[in-house]
A and B are shown apart, each in its own frame.
Chain A
């Protein structure tokens, strides 16, 4: 009896469970980047997948082929296209190590949810995949561009571009996009990749600058470098976010500049409700910075002068940051009419009663809400040089 029970337990543990989808490494085709375009004539989607050729990466005897293969298929749905691609390449598509999803402007304008929904449903493409809109160029072309790439694999190049991004570019992955697009009172912003034809280097250059603002899941416009910076500061959640260098006029000499490196940024949005229709927001941005460059060579006589000077630079930086944050708020309110900062969401969390009143009308309400921006810049130090370097004879 016990023997029979044991036998049944062993059989069930082995036959009713387990990972039956056994695939050898030589059977899978690792997809490292995907690009989605729309065929302007037929309206069909074009899915371009970048497959890896592992043999080219061999340390013993690398084959001289191109390390990647691009496969393009077109059809009505993305889910169908992922299967269809298997018919055009000798490996089974394997999407778990995908790094990038790039969509063209047209796809983004038509709405991204129909495109990205299948990724979340089947979990074949992970949430931690960078999502970007290709500006002024076919998404497909981004994948084949050589760029200033040290890595042999274009997807790896793009991935590193996103990982190293500084505060003048928005980076967002699929998971963040899903969150923002599904949340009430917030609209998503994603990264933007652009291709620039360079005259000096013999190949095209891809760069990551600015951001793409969405309304619901549809693209409404782009943020430029300055606006992306403001957006990043406004959304900064904690220390070590969104570093970058910011230059200001030197104050010591005409036409000379002083550069501060923004180290830690933290921002806080507080809704202020005075009456049923009097909603305003206070946005506090706290930054820690340090001076990393001073073009001026004017000698500072006293330590006190230096302290005063640093105070002045702090003030200057505060104004500059405030300008940039206000600029992006104005653009979102007036031009894109899209709450990309999640102000509505903050209201929902902190003042749920007020939110329930304005909820249905939020897109209109957002355009009129008043936002006061308070910026506090804390200059931590001036590097290893106290004042200025004073060239002498």
Chain B
């Protein structure tokens, strides 16, 4: 056994060693042929490689070659702006051009591309080719030209399905990093808006961009973000969720300490509040830090509509949060322990409904909320055309049919429905409340109201202990930043929100002058 493990270990070390040997910075040779051969070897003669050799100096057949990977380049662009100018060169050949000056001549006079780069070693060439650039080798030069020909199909900018809105921008991010950052650029015309690019994921080489507004953001937070991102050592980053899970403060907590959104206006607003956003190539979801608990109860629309309804809806969301976590638990404890705590008429109704139900209330509620979760999961994953079948079956399973069959009581159905509806209201915390709902339900089933209180105590205590990139999770409530209560559970009019959130930036900053001082 031990031998096998030892052998395995040796092999791993060896393979690491050999791969690192391959990664050595190999300089390019003056020979086009050899360069091409190396490149082909490095890319394992993959089927999507395309290269073409031709001569551009008179009477020379193969002094130049282009090389790219099919499908991730703009073929039209290559033909029109690389191959055609090169081939035209031979005809309007100027006498004094020798092969040695060719590189500078090409860069200065021939290639009309705005983004060209001269590289000297093979690794840079390989990386460039892999991301969709076209490499141009020249005979007698120990360097190559990388022309940016990156092009791939992408989704148009659409309204995000996850965060639909009645009033406000319907513009959502797509899967292309550059498009996403450009959306923010367009919203915030400020030279201080900074995008720092990094590449993470050993295999995927995913490009990410850390965005912040210099002068608003707290540089310590940016530094912390950089530090945590630099520490990521993983094969793949396929979605910003990977980054989120690597950099979050408390990975073992049920509560998210990193926010995400696919709406450009929301991300712009968060940047303007001094938060740091991390864009990741390949996903429309952009993550933001620090993320406070209160952000789960806020949506961009709160700021677009007038303050009265915004404040009301925010309070409703808080109510929904309480309800969605505790309703099944409260129902079960009332039905099994605290019969004296409900009005007589309600108890009679509950008892009447429970009369012919074969399960104890706890089991009945547990079954029903589990069935609801099953239905929800099925509804999300089902292909669209069969989706309607799910809603029909779902209505039967947790609806009147179940009550008529005598398997569940009508109040339980209402409890589950209420739980579900309120759960959708606080969609940002949906993943958290699903688990908490079960925890509270089990506590209620075993200990009654005492259990619910115990659970609430633990949850609130836990929330108080959380931090997100230095900001206490429950701020502005714990610790108290009284001035920020103007934009927490309620939203005061925009003209009165003079200060940027101190719980995020950690220093007093003003957005606007006090109303009375304005001209």
User: Knowing A18-B450, A25-B350, A25-B361 touch, does A58 contact B355 (C-beta < 8 A)?
Assistant: yes
Stretch in contact with the other chain, from B115-123, B166-174, B337-345? B337-345
Chain A 178-196 per-residue mask, 1 if CB under 8 angstroms from chain B, else 0: 0000000000000000000
CA distance A55 to B339 in the complex (A): 17
CB of A43 closer than 8 Å to a CB of B: no
CB of A90 closer than 8 Å to a CB of B: no
A278 shortest CB reach to chain B, Å: 51
CA distance A192 to B404 in the complex (A): 45
User: Knowing A25-B339, A60-B410, A94-B339 touch, does A19 contact B448 (C-beta < 8 A)?
Assistant: yes
Hey, which chain B residues are within 8 Å of A32, CB to CB? 344
Which of B349, B351, B446 interacts with A14 by CB under 8 Å? Answer: B446
CB of A164 closer than 8 Å to a CB of B: no
Contact at A22–B355, with CB atoms within 8 Å? no
Hey, which chain A residues are within 8 Å of B404, CB to CB? 60
Chain A residue nearest to B357 (CB atoms) is A26
Judged by DSSP, the binding face of A is: loop
CB of A42 closer than 8 Å to a CB of B: no
CB of A23 closer than 8 Å to a CB of B: yes
Hey, which chain A residues are within 8 Å of B339, CB to CB? 23, 25, 28, 94, 96-97
CA distance A24 to B338 in the complex (A): 10
Contact at B337–A54, with CB atoms within 8 Å? no
Chain A residue nearest to B445 (CB atoms) is A22
Within residues 85 to 101 of chain B, which ones have a CB less than 8 A from any CB in chain A?
none
CB of B315 closer than 8 Å to a CB of A: no
CA distance A14 to B444 in the complex (A): 11
CB of B157 closer than 8 Å to a CB of A: no
A162 shortest CB reach to chain B, Å: 14
CA distance A24 to B357 in the complex (A): 11
Hey, which chain A residues are within 8 Å of B447, CB to CB? 14, 17-19
Hey, which chain A residues are within 8 Å of B344, CB to CB? 30, 32, 97, 99
CB of A40 closer than 8 Å to a CB of B: no
Within residues 247 to 299 of chain B, which ones have a CB less than 8 A from any CB in chain A?
none
Residue in A14, A17, A19, A28 with the greatest tally of chain B CB atoms within 10 Å: A19
CB of B329 closer than 8 Å to a CB of A: no
Contact at B348–A22, with CB atoms within 8 Å? no
CA distance A24 to B450 in the complex (A): 17
Hey, which chain B residues are within 8 Å of A23, CB to CB? 336-337, 339
Contact at A57–B335, with CB atoms within 8 Å? no
B344 shortest CB reach to chain A, Å: 5
Which of A22, A24, A54, A126 interacts with B352 by CB under 8 Å? Answer: A54
Within residues 134 to 188 of chain A, which ones have a CB less than 8 A from any CB in chain B?
none
Contact at B351–A21, with CB atoms within 8 Å? no
Chain B 294-335 per-residue mask, 1 if CB under 8 angstroms from chain A, else 0: 000000000000000000000000000000000000000101
Contact at A57–B348, with CB atoms within 8 Å? yes
User: Knowing A24-B336, A60-B403 touch, does A18 contact B351 (C-beta < 8 A)?
Assistant: no
Contact at B336–A22, with CB atoms within 8 Å? yes
B342 shortest CB reach to chain A, Å: 9
B440 shortest CB reach to chain A, Å: 14
Contact at A19–B449, with CB atoms within 8 Å? yes
Chain A residue nearest to B333 (CB atoms) is A19
Contact at B403–A54, with CB atoms within 8 Å? no
Within residues 25 to 70 of chain B, which ones have a CB less than 8 A from any CB in chain A?
none
Contact at A54–B348, with CB atoms within 8 Å? yes
A172 shortest CB reach to chain B, Å: 20
Chain A residue nearest to B400 (CB atoms) is A60
Contact at A18–B352, with CB atoms within 8 Å? no
Contact at A96–B340, with CB atoms within 8 Å? yes
Contact at B347–A97, with CB atoms within 8 Å? yes
Contact at A55–B355, with CB atoms within 8 Å? yes
B233 shortest CB reach to chain A, Å: 30
CA distance A19 to B445 in the complex (A): 10
Hey, which chain B residues are within 8 Å of A59, CB to CB? 349, 352-353, 410
Chain B residue nearest to A17 (CB atoms) is B450
CB of B501 closer than 8 Å to a CB of A: no
Hey, which chain A residues are within 8 Å of B352, CB to CB? 54-59, 62
- 30 residue pairs bridging A and B, Cβ less than 8 Å apart: A13-B454, A14-B447, A17-B447, A17-B450, A18-B448, A18-B450, A22-B448, A23-B337, A24-B336, A24-B354, A25-B335, A25-B339, A25-B347, A25-B350, A28-B339, A30-B344, A52-B348, A52-B351, A54-B348, A55-B355, A57-B349, A57-B352, A58-B352, A59-B352, A60-B353, A60-B410, A62-B352, A96-B340, A97-B339, A126-B340
- Further pairs besides A54-B354, A55-B355, A58-B352: 12, Cβ < 8 Å: A22-B337, A22-B448, A23-B337, A23-B339, A24-B336, A26-B354, A54-B355, A60-B353, A62-B352, A96-B339, A97-B340, A97-B344
